[in-house]
Amino acid sequence: MAKIIVVTSGKGGVGKTTTSASFASGLAMRGHKTTVIDFDVGLRNLDLIMGCERRVVYDLVNVIHDEAKLSQALIKDKHTEHLHILAASQTRDKEALTADGVKRVLDELAQMGMEYIVCDSPAGIETGALLAMRFADEAVVVTNPEVSSVRDSDRILGMLASKTQRAIDGADPVKEHLLITRYSPSRVADGQMLSVQDIEDILRIPLIGVVPESESVLKASNQGVPAIHLKASAVSEAYKDVVRRFLGEGREMRFTQPARPTFFQRLFARAGA
């Protein structure tokens, strides 16, 4: 039975699509059959980050409206075996999505043997975001260490508790995970950002990972490569840790403390004193 995970947040620009691409890739890298779906109808960024924008012929809306079969719309990832991408439409609006249509697509993916279906949610609480979370079993709530982002994430937790199918049916609630992105321990120490503890105290959901602030994320996105594939990168390691924790493996929470100066940095600091 497929497990449906929504990657969501209230605020735009926090790294949801970057997270969806890397999280889905990480699951596939571990041998799990995975599909990642872009629910941001009208904008569509997931295919750019996955590097498959030129291969999009049919999209999620085409499948929902019976204009194409799901097998025609799924794109096989060129970086990772076991991973497929279902792009959003650029020419329709979010009202083109329907709950029945989304449910039918998810059921068909499950019948195809997908183990994980990752739903990349648009920002806010409009139709696309509500349908991205509607049938979720688990949620990765992405936030930046700033007050407005955390506040909006708290609002999303309210939606997960009330607007999902599990809430409607009175079933077990959606399992929630907190992911903090663009985290800079040195800026936290200077009082420019909220700390991990501050965010945990406000949101009160289990922390699944901390992704450090890095210019390499933008570079990877521009190259059409999910950040998890970056070589010798703290961001890549952080996303790999997230996937390991999601799969039940114990991992130390890294990237929460300022980096210690190297021997040579300490040496030159003494020399300049």
For tokens 């929470």, what's the residue? 253
Q: State the pTM of this model.
A: 0.93
Burial of 163 (0-12, 13-18, 19+ CB in 10 A): middle
H-helix segments, the chain: 16-29, 46-50, 60-64, 70-73, 99-111, 127-134, 147-162, 165-169, 185-189, 196-203, 216-222, 234-246, 263-272
CA distance 70 to 57: 12
- From first to last of its 273 residues, what are the pLDDT tens digits of the chain? 899 999 999 888 899 999 999 999 999 999 999 999 999 998 889 999 999 999 999 999 999 999 999 999 999 999 999 999 999 998 887 788 999 999 999 999 999 999 999 999 998 888 899 999 999 999 999 999 999 999 999 999 999 999 999 999 999 999 999 999 999 999 999 999 999 999 999 999 999 999 999 988 888 888 999 999 999 899 999 999 999 999 999 999 999 987 665 554 455 555 555
Nearest-5° Cα angle at 84, 82 to 89: 175
- Please name every residue paired with 8 in a beta bridge, in sequence order, or none if there are none: 141
